[in-house]
Amino acid sequence: MGEDSALAEEAQQAPEAVARGSRDDSSPQEPWHLRNMISKSRWKLLATLALVLVVMVWYSISREDRYIELFYFPIPGKKEPCLQGEAEKIASKLFGNYSREQPVFLQLKDYFWVKTPSAYELPYGTKGSEDLLLRVLAITSYSVPESIQSLKCRRCVVVGNGHRLRNSSLGEAINKYDVVIRLNSAPVAGYEQDVGSKTTMRLFYPESAHFNPKVEDNPDTLLVMVAFKAMDFHWIESILSDKKRVRKGFWKQPPLIWDVNPKQIRILNPFFMEMAADKLLSLPIQQPYKIKQKPTTGLLAITLALHLCDMVHIAGFGYPDAHHKKQSIHYYEYITLKSMVWSGHNVSQEALAIKRMLEIGAVKNLTYF
């Protein structure tokens, strides 16, 4: 019976063996050493890919850190330490051994009592415009407010008009600076969350003057005129002395009625225009009129801040790149880079100048650049 039982069991297992043999014949198994080699190759490939991924991530992070270090820094929770004379020390790398004795604003005594002719015509000097300037300086002022003069260390921010300020929520941080410098007719009302509400100085030229400055500026804001041509002095004199308005000689009609306090008006020293053009942009001071290049008001404001302040931060600078030609260049209106073609400004050259300032630590950026 034991023998019969064994035979029966053998017979029962036979079909299963045949079936297995049939399956093995239809899909033969790979030799073990071949399977082992394939498995090792797969692991090596995965390890190589993982290594490449790690290197790419590390490189990206290091590049991003470098980008942040040069062109952006997070909004500090507390006031950053301010070192007196720090900006002047670093700025000397850009401007050379220039003197801070240069007045920020033009003064009447320098034209009335001291007849020292300027070396250049506007916008780099006042040669040929002295008589006009005398009349303007007689009804304006030139002093830097005591609230700024008395500061042991001046923390300043230059607020550009760039699109990067939109939805930045920088308003509160901007308001904490000792000196807030704004440009042209850039609005504050309605944009306070992103750009703040404090304005210490606003640089402008006639065509860029806001039609209602009392809406956008504080009562003590200094309105600093940048003169590009003699007609600019004619305009400001006619406004402040209520003379016949000047209507010709402008690329865009400036305000004909301008409700401002003459004592809040200042005339920027053309020295800063010369420094920005010569030292930052390497522009020839003497240029044919039709193709004359000049610094933007923004670059001029940074140059002024480096002369006046001990700490200089910027926000809202930089233009869209070539891939974003339709993006607005301003935070408050839709206007593209195409509008800069006939402006006389070289935005690429200015971008390089600002990047250099960021690299050497002359300024720091509240927005990316």
In the chain, the number of structural domains is 2
- Which residue among 71, 97, 120 closes a domain? 71
63 and 204 in a single domain? The answer is no
282 and 161 in a single domain? The answer is yes
297 and 329 in a single domain? The answer is yes
355 and 243 in a single domain? The answer is yes
- Which residue among 48, 71, 94 closes a domain? 71
What confidence tens digit (pLDDT) does each residue in 318-356 have?
A: 888 766 678 898 999 998 877 766 667 788 899 999 999
200 and 126 in a single domain? The answer is yes
Is the residue at 19 inside a domain?
A: no
Model confidence band, residue 65 (pLDDT cutoffs 50, 70, 90): very low
Is the residue at 202 inside a domain?
A: yes
Tell me the three state secondary structure of residue 197: coil
Is the residue at 18 inside a domain?
A: no
Tell me the three state secondary structure of residue 268: strand
50 and 133 in a single domain? The answer is no
Rounded distance between C-alpha atoms, residue 238 and residue 263, angstroms: 15
Residue count (the chain): 369
55 and 190 in a single domain? The answer is no
Is the residue at 63 inside a domain?
A: yes
Is the residue at 61 inside a domain?
A: yes
Which is more confident, 9 or 209?
209
Q: What is the mean pLDDT of residues 221-232?
A: 97
183 and 46 in a single domain? The answer is no
- CATH code of the domain covering residue 352: 3.90.1480.20
59 and 103 in a single domain? The answer is no
Contact 208, 345 (CB under 8 A): no
62 and 95 in a single domain? The answer is no
Least confident range from 84-93, 136-145, 290-299, 318-327: namely 318-327
129 and 275 in a single domain? The answer is yes
- Which residue among 47, 71, 95 closes a domain? 71
Query: Is residue 22 over pLDDT 60?
Result: no
Rounded distance between C-alpha atoms, residue 159 and residue 156, angstroms: 10
Query: Is residue 26 over pLDDT 50?
Result: no
Give, as one character, the DSSP assignment of residue 276. Answer: I
Neighbouring residues of 130: CB distance < 8 A, sequence distance ≥ 6: 111, 117, 118
Is the residue at 10 inside a domain?
A: no
> Could you give the dihedral angle defined by the CA atoms of residues 204, 208, 212 and 218, in that order, rounded to the nearest 10 degrees?
-30
Model confidence band, residue 74 (pLDDT cutoffs 50, 70, 90): low
Model confidence band, residue 8 (pLDDT cutoffs 50, 70, 90): very low
Which is more confident, 234 or 286?
234
Per the prediction, the chain carries an average pLDDT of 83
Residue 245: domain span: 77-365
Rounded distance between C-alpha atoms, residue 366 and residue 297, angstroms: 19
66 and 174 in a single domain? The answer is no
Three-state secondary structure string covering 297-320? HHHHHHHHHHHHCCEEEEECCCCC
